[in-house]
Structure 1
């Protein structure tokens, strides 16, 4: 199945400092492309893989699960480690959960994590009934496109296959149990208004990681897909500063900041 125009994976070979960006559930690398290109302009080696089942049609997503999505970013991380002396993981929404699990599982091979509106669980009665509902209902309306900025568009599915949503629920519960294994510096962005992932998810993540170098930044002008929204430049500049600080070996013994 052809990839949707604009949803292609992105790769750039640069310095020995690599950044792996992970997109969200039902989304594509397009939601991270401006961020990836700015990192590349600064000379970093950058990889934004297209997760299996994404970027084509929702019927393809129905045939995949969290093991497929995680395996893809795990392969990309290993490939970056072969080429780079340091690697950072980053992601949006489910991509933030993927980035955190990579940090938990790979330890010292990940130098830091940047998470934008990271997901920690599926919420509400809908999530609780998924084990049964997925056998009765194929899809529900999509979650893509929660952006405040006028004219900004996210390439994502207009339907969510419930078999894939159930797999996501399983994955997020798994990651929650592994969060204490995350010890790397963490930069977390949270939108004040987010119609997809509530603030409770970020709070839960911050309460469970073992990182001591932690910064939380609240985005006042963006909704869920903040990487394409009005705070996109702030995400880029703050992440560049975060990576630059750690890549140069400065400030690794950081303190916890809240903003």
Structure 2
């Protein structure tokens, strides 16, 4: 019997090794046949360490950030090969999408001052491969309402995608702590809000949980989360395997899941294996901490959480927002706002099997300790409504929004929530005074294959939120 088990175990081990070798072989072949790495993939800008971040202030951070941008200019922009000096390369000085050629370089950390004495302060944390640009509209709204707005560029972001090959989530948490310290140093009295988008949502929540366990950290009075990265796909857990061949210099390209043209001035299109790995590490740490504090009965110390989330999201897990976060929260005034599908007859027959029931699956009838609002329509007209259920009830109150679903938009997306239609880069009706060198939100992708620098599918994902005015109304500090 022992011999049989031993033989079975050996066969299982051999099978696993063979599958791993097959996976690595296919991975190497797939990546090696793709486009080459550019200097923006290979250069890693200098960033402050976790220890340095924890001992730095805003002035020190800005000096380090300026040094990182200067080093990148010398190592990348000034050394571009002639073949890389094209309009679709954001690091080419003559490109219309080079951030230095735009009115503001929103890749950099920024502070927005209110007109008078600050009524409070808000810290803004952007998403993975993103930049502070993604939260500029919300930051401006806070500024207009009398808040000081502090938006930090997270390490590894905003400069070149090569920075994300070495950045770890602990770096991002240290930068979050720095931003919160700086915010409280500027505005020691008054409400403190943490506003996080995607990966930044996970960081904002993690900081709030850390403050429960560490009294020396400033406590937030409110969390505002947009498409928060509370749960990610199962692939992220094993993403590190995809980069194994990169230990050999010949196969350096396998450190990347995507190597794509970089024509977006404020977001990386290329995506390294390490970035996926860090999302899994961060969400795992977040889930464990939520579970630990829930079992200890300490989540009552969390501030109210207001979350905006599309019911369909190809980047983060919408069900995880409910099961891993909201179902653990106490009755503390938290609310979840879900953006439903456009259920008008125009799209209904075209939905994939089961998609039309996604809301029922993630939000079955129940009484909850938090409020739920669903923004959608009735399946007949395009007129949007907000259907709200208060904590402890199962009765809906319906509010017409006076907004129609755009007839060519069947759902929101992970990337759409923080951008109004007027956004110069992502908006569906960009403000002509807000030029970003390219208007990605208005592209109508119809034509022949092989003409665009990216697959046409890249441009079909909606990048702006038709309900942004409603979102601002609900956020209102």
With structure 2 as the length reference, what TM-score do the two structures score?
0.46
Report if aligned partners of 2:232, 2:317 keep a CA contact under 8 Å in 1.
Answer: no
Q: Could you tell me which residue of structure 2 aligns to residue 39 of structure 1?
A: 142
Q: Could you tell me which residue of structure 2 aligns to residue 195 of structure 1?
A: 314
1:194 to partner: Cα distance: 2.0
Report if aligned partners of 2:231, 2:320 keep a CA contact under 8 Å in 1.
Answer: yes
Q: C-alpha distance in 1, partners of 2:265/2:149?
A: 21
Q: Which runs of 5+ in 2 are unaligned?
A: 1-71, 74-97, 100-104, 213-217, 246-253, 341-410, 420-463
Report if aligned partners of 1:10, 1:33 keep a CA contact under 8 Å in 2.
Answer: no
- Greater length-normalized contact order (CA 8 Å, ≥ 6 residues apart): 1
Change (3 A) 1:170 1:43: same
> Quick check: 1:138 aligned with 2:255?
yes
Change (3 A) 1:118 1:131: same
Q: C-alpha distance in 2, partners of 1:154/1:41?
A: 26
| Number of residue equivalences | 231
User: Which deviates further from its counterpart, 226-235 or 19-28?
Assistant: 226-235
Equivalent in 235, 246, 259 of residue 471 of structure 2: 235
Report if aligned partners of 1:30, 1:154 keep a CA contact under 8 Å in 2.
Answer: no
Q: C-alpha distance in 1, partners of 2:259/2:109?
A: 22
Q: Is the partner of 2:136 in helix, strand or coil?
A: helix
Report if aligned partners of 2:231, 2:321 keep a CA contact under 8 Å in 1.
Answer: no
Q: C-alpha distance in 2, partners of 1:199/1:233?
A: 22
Could you say which structure has the higher strand fraction?
A: 1
CA displacement 1:197-229 (0-9 Å, x = unmatched): 231121122123346211111124531121012
Q: Is the partner of 1:109 in helix, strand or coil?
A: coil
> Quick check: 1:216 aligned with 2:336?
yes
Q: C-alpha distance in 1, partners of 2:145/2:329?
A: 29
Q: C-alpha distance in 2, partners of 1:57/1:23?
A: 16
Change (3 A) 1:128 1:169: closer
1:232 to partner: Cα distance: 2.4
1:154 to partner: Cα distance: 8.1
Q: Could you tell me which residue of structure 2 aligns to residue 248 of structure 1?
A: none
User: Which deviates further from its counterpart, 14-23 or 102-111?
Assistant: 102-111
4+ residue segments displaced more than 4 Å: none
1:196 to partner: Cα distance: 1.3
Change (3 A) 1:211 1:60: farther
> Quick check: 1:66 aligned with 2:130?
no
Equivalent in 104, 109, 115 of residue 9 of structure 1: 109
Report if aligned partners of 1:142, 1:157 keep a CA contact under 8 Å in 2.
Answer: no
RMSD of Structure 2 on Structure 1 (CA): 2.2
Report if aligned partners of 2:314, 2:414 keep a CA contact under 8 Å in 1.
Answer: yes
User: Which deviates further from its counterpart, 90-99 or 204-213?
Assistant: 204-213
Q: Could you tell me which residue of structure 2 aligns to residue 120 of structure 1?
A: 230
Change (3 A) 1:44 1:134: same
1:74 to partner: Cα distance: 0.7
1:8 to partner: Cα distance: 2.1
Q: C-alpha distance in 1, partners of 2:259/2:112?
A: 31
Report if aligned partners of 1:186, 1:211 keep a CA contact under 8 Å in 2.
Answer: no
Q: Could you tell me which residue of structure 2 aligns to residue 90 of structure 1?
A: 195
Change (3 A) 1:94 1:6: same
Change (3 A) 1:211 1:117: farther
Q: Which runs of 5+ in 1 are unaligned?
A: 144-152, 244-259
1:193 to partner: Cα distance: 3.0
CA displacement 1:124-176 (0-9 Å, x = unmatched): 3x223223223232111389xxxxxxxxx783111111123212211111011
Q: Could you tell me which residue of structure 2 aligns to residue 253 of structure 1?
A: none
> Quick check: 1:205 aligned with 2:328?
no
Q: C-alpha distance in 2, partners of 1:80/1:18?
A: 6
Equivalent in 80, 101, 126 of residue 183 of structure 2: 80
CA displacement 1:52-81 (0-9 Å, x = unmatched): 110111111112110111111111101112
User: Which deviates further from its counterpart, 77-86 or 88-97?
Assistant: 77-86
